[in-house]
């Protein structure tokens, strides 16, 4: 530690150095203890009237050098005397907030830390100013009275977060998920006049308000909040500072914690305002010095960060954090790169970064040859900004569109996708979806793969047929053996078939068949699809061959296939009559997979076409009717298939082709009871599914 000696030079040497090196070196002052490697100089500024028990608070970044519980923190005043302090928040991230006593404005203190072996000092000092909020995860216990609540707090040791707060007026948990948590507010109220003070609480769920350790008003138990002060009680207080405690517990659902008062002479209750709490002065870091392996680091790299705004999106939360380089010489250092710990980087001087999920991130800044990494926590702090959520969301979407989404994890991409959908940012939605498809982890994640499959379905139903097919194709191509890929291929084949692209559909089904030699259920789907391609071509015999082969791959249903036909048909029809279309289609799908040869029977196609058509999927409904007609133009259901093809085409706004189908029925099936229906539809084509009447179902 020889290098430290130069800070113990005699006075004359310091004076000589000053003369030689200029005024800047006047800041060099003796190092208190060489075992402590970091020193931050803090200057305090007064806030509000001075009053008694002066105390300041400062939040400083620790660079990860401070012990999590701040045991190695030492604060020295200008005379080199140790000053007691109170840790408001430490260890949640590389940012520490402490309070400490002060004597006068502009007073300067040295904060020493960075000694992993230092033991904590018991100061027995806490500020008689400000308001501190602590949130804990709820443990086991009741909230029906103060005794239960006290035990519950004792049984709830996990602290989610702590910090200085403005007032007791919260509608969410700013430190974690807003469910099953306990909030503890402790603050110092200034009562301007002696007299009867009326305190009120409203909460969701329980709340207990104490003044000077006496329980004044409470609203225990599980309940919603009310918008009035019906839960209130008076207490007599002298002029001066009084200790307020407010304990709140939320069991779930909504959450509110609100403390109000009516000071003597006032008519109405008001939320106890921030200015009612005796203010802490504010400290600011003015200099940072650090020793590394015994050598003083010239102008160590340092950056600070704070949460600027948040937007909630469904179950998730997006937050913008602001980062600022604190190293004085940073302007002269050219190489500068931020890594925000979520895969995104930036070269900006003072970037704002949007995190798509709350949580802890390791953020690093490379500046010149130095690098600093700090733990940064994105809190569940959804109301820190007064901005309109839609405005913020637009700004967030714009920023996120600039990210390289290929480096982000599946959870992040899902969050972005959900956000983009909620706030109607189609470009971002498309980007997130593309990145999800390309992200190797997507199919290890059941949520992500389901999102992608559902999305393809939604695109299809929205009329984006080609995009839906493209999405499924990419899914199928990329993850050749995984279950969602097989499902994607199967859906792709069916969509292509509905679009009349038999060759491409067959490619998809054959690709599925090649991959599923050891997976009978999917193999049956592939063979059924290939059978559908034959049916589309009008080759009923080849279709039957493929369907029979498919049936060999599925276990026969109980009671045999003939019984299954009847059971599925009955169930599908009943669901159709009840208007439960998804359930009807599910029965159709079960029917199809248990007994693919059913597809050669017109009745199956009839029910499937009606179900698809009623659900609004006229493209697939049309494909089914078309293929069934092609397979068996002589069959009992051939006129039905022509009628339904006409109906689908009419709804799909292909009126000429629709008329052609109705005419085919009128001319080709003179004995059919459906002929008059077709004649009528030639006069008045159907316009909406709601007004359409179906054979079997309606006549």
SS3 306: strand
**Residue with Cβ nearer Ca ion (250 or 429):** 250
**Residue with Cβ nearer Ca ion (248 or 487):** 248
CA dihedral 378, 381, 385, 391 (to 10 degrees): 80
Which of 253, 348, 427, 483 is the binder for Ca ion (CB under 5 A)? 253
Which of 134, 170, 198, 205 is the binder for Ca ion (CB under 5 A)? 205
**Residue with Cβ nearer Ca ion (205 or 429):** 205
**Residue with Cβ nearer Ca ion (149 or 471):** 149
Q: Between the CA of residue 286 and those of 39, 44, 326, 642, what are the distances in Å?
A: 11, 10, 10, 84
The least distance separating Ca ion from the CB of residue 224, rounded to whole angstroms, comes to 7
699 Cβ neighbours under 8 A, 6+ residues apart: 677, 693
The least distance separating Ca ion from the CB of residue 23, rounded to whole angstroms, comes to 59
The least distance separating Ca ion from the CB of residue 215, rounded to whole angstroms, comes to 22
**Residue with Cβ nearer Ca ion (256 or 436):** 256
Angle, CA 352 vertex, CA 351 and CA 354 arms, to 5°: 135
The least distance separating Ca ion from the CB of residue 61, rounded to whole angstroms, comes to 35
The least distance separating Ca ion from the CB of residue 272, rounded to whole angstroms, comes to 22
- Please check whether residue 576 is in contact with residue 697, taking contact to mean a CB–CB distance below 8 angstroms: yes
Only one of the segments 109-117, 248-256, 614-622, 680-688 lies at the binding site for Ca ion (rule: CB under 5 A); that segment is 248-256
Which of 110, 198, 204, 429 is the binder for Ca ion (CB under 5 A)? 204
HEC per residue, 630-666: HHCCCCCCHHHHHHHHHHHHHHCCCHHHHHHHHHHHH
Q: How far apart are CA 571 and CA 591, in angstroms?
A: 10
The least distance separating Ca ion from the CB of residue 172, rounded to whole angstroms, comes to 11
> What is the per-residue DSSP string for 209-264?
EEETTEEEEEE-SS----SS--SEEEEEE-SEEEEEEEEEEE-SSS-EEEEEEE-T
**Residue with Cβ nearer Ca ion (60 or 246):** 246
The least distance separating Ca ion from the CB of residue 184, rounded to whole angstroms, comes to 17
Both tokens of 179, joined, read 């469910």
SS3 463: coil
Only one of the segments 205-213, 355-363, 539-547, 685-693 lies at the binding site for Ca ion (rule: CB under 5 A); that segment is 205-213
SS3 698: coil
Backbone angles phi, psi at 246, to 5 degrees: -135, 120
- Please check whether residue 131 is in contact with residue 185, taking contact to mean a CB–CB distance below 8 angstroms: yes
Only one of the segments 196-204, 352-360, 425-433, 505-513 lies at the binding site for Ca ion (rule: CB under 5 A); that segment is 196-204
Query: How many residues are given for the chain?
Result: 699
Only one of the segments 202-210, 384-392, 564-572, 613-621 lies at the binding site for Ca ion (rule: CB under 5 A); that segment is 202-210
- Please check whether residue 613 is in contact with residue 578, taking contact to mean a CB–CB distance below 8 angstroms: no
The least distance separating Ca ion from the CB of residue 457, rounded to whole angstroms, comes to 36
Q: Which of residues 568-627 bind Ca ion (CB under 5 A)?
A: none
Only one of the segments 246-254, 406-414, 427-435, 533-541 lies at the binding site for Ca ion (rule: CB under 5 A); that segment is 246-254
Q: Between the CA of residue 8 and those of 33, 79, 81, what are the distances in Å?
A: 11, 16, 18
Only one of the segments 23-31, 251-259, 387-395, 603-611 lies at the binding site for Ca ion (rule: CB under 5 A); that segment is 251-259
How many residues in the shown chain lie near Ca ion by CB under 5 A? 5
The least distance separating Ca ion from the CB of residue 171, rounded to whole angstroms, comes to 11
The one-character DSSP state at 120 is P
The least distance separating Ca ion from the CB of residue 178, rounded to whole angstroms, comes to 9
Burial string for 380-407 (b: 16+ CB within 10 Å, else e) reads bbbeebeeebeebbebbbebbeebebee
The least distance separating Ca ion from the CB of residue 225, rounded to whole angstroms, comes to 9
Which of 134, 170, 250, 617 is the binder for Ca ion (CB under 5 A)? 250
Asked if 382 interacts with Ca ion (CB under 5 A), we say no
**Residue with Cβ nearer Ca ion (204 or 342):** 204
> Contact positions toward Ca ion, by CB under 5 A?
204-205, 250, 253, 255
């Amino acid at each position: 530690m020889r290098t430290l000696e130069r800070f113990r030079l005699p006075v004359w040497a310091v004076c000589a150095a000053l003369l030689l090196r200029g005024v800047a070196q006047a800041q060099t002052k003796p190092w208190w203890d060489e075992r402590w490697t970091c020193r931050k100089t803090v200057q305090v500024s007064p806030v509000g009237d001075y009053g008694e028990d002066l105390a300041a608070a400062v939040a400083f970044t620790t660079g990860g050098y401070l012990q999590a519980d701040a045991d190695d923190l030492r604060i020295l005043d200008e005379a080199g005397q140790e000053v007691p302090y109170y840790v408001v928040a430490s260890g949640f991230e590389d940012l520490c907030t402490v309070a400490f006593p002060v004597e006068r404005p502009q007073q300067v203190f040295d904060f020493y830390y960075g000694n992993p072996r230092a033991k904590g000092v018991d100061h027995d000092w806490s500020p008689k100013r400000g308001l501190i909020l602590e949130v804990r995860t709820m443990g086991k216990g009741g909230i029906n009275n103060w005794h239960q609540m006290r035990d519950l707090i004792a049984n709830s040791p996990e602290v989610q977060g702590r910090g200085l707060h403005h007032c007791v007026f919260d509608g969410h948990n700013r430190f974690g998920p807003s469910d099953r948590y306990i909030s503890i507010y402790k603050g110092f109220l200034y009562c301007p006049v002696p007299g009867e003070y009326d305190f009120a609480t409203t909460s969701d769920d329980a709340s207990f308000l104490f003044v000077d350790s006496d329980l004044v008003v409470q609203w225990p138990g599980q309940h919603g909040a009310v918008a009035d002060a019906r839960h209130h009680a008076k207490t007599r207080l002298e002029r001066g500072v009084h200790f307020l405690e407010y304990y709140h517990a939320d069991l779930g659902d909504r959450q509110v914690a609100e403390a109000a008062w009516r000071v003597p002479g006032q008519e109405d209750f008001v939320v106890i305002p921030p200015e009612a709490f005796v203010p802490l002065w504010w400290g600011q870091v003015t200099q940072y010095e650090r020793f590394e392996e015994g050598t003083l680091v010239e102008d160590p790299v340092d950056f600070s960060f704070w949460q600027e705004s948040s937007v909630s999106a469904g179950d998730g939360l997006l937050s913008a954090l602001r980062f600022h380089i604190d190293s004085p010489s940073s302007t002269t250092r050219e190489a500068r790169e931020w890594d925000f710990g979520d895969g995104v980087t930036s070269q900006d001087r003072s970037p704002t970064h949007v995190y798509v999920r709350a949580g802890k991130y390791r953020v690093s800044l490379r500046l010149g040859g130095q690098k600093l990494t700090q733990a940064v926590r994105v809190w569940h702090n959804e109301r820190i900004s007064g901005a309109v959520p839609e405005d913020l969301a637009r700004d967030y979407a714009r920023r996120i569109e600039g990210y390289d989404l290929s480096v982000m994890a599946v959870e992040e991409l899902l969050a972005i996708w959900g956000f983009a959908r909620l706030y109607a940012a189609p470009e971002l939605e498309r980007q997130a979806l593309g990145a999800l498809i390309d992200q190797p982890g997507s199919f290890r994640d059941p949520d992500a793969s389901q999102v992608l499959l559902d999305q393809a379905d939604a695109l299809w139903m929205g009329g984006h047929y080609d995009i839906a097919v493209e999405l499924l194709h990419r899914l199928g191509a990329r993850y050749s053996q995984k279950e969602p890929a097989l499902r994607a291929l199967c859906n792709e084949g069916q969509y292509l078939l509905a679009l009349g692209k038999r060759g491409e559909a067959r490619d998809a089904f054959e690709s599925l068949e090649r991959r599923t030699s050891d997976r009978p259920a999917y193999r049956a789907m592939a063979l059924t699809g290939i059978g559908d391609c034959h049916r589309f071509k009008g080759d009923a015999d080849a279709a039957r061959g493929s369907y029979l082969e498919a049936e060999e791959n599925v276990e026969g249903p109980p009671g045999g296939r003939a019984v299954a036909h009847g059971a599925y048909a009955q169930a599908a029809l009943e669901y159709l009559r009840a208007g439960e279309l998804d359930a009807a289609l599910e029965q159709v799908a079960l029917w199809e997979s248990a007994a693919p040869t059913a597809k050669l029977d017109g009745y199956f196609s009839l029910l499937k076409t009606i179900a698809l058509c009623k659900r609004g999927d006229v493209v697939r409904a049309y494909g089914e009717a078309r293929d069934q007609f092609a397979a068996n133009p002589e069959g009992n259901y051939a006129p039905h298939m022509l009628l339904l093809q006409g109906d689908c085409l009419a709804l799909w706004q292909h009126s000429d082709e629709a008329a052609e189908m109705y005419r085919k029925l009128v001319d080709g099936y003179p004995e059919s009871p459906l002929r008059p229906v077709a004649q009528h539809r030639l006069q008045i084509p159907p316009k909406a599914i709601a007004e359409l009447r179906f054979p079997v179902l309606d006549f």
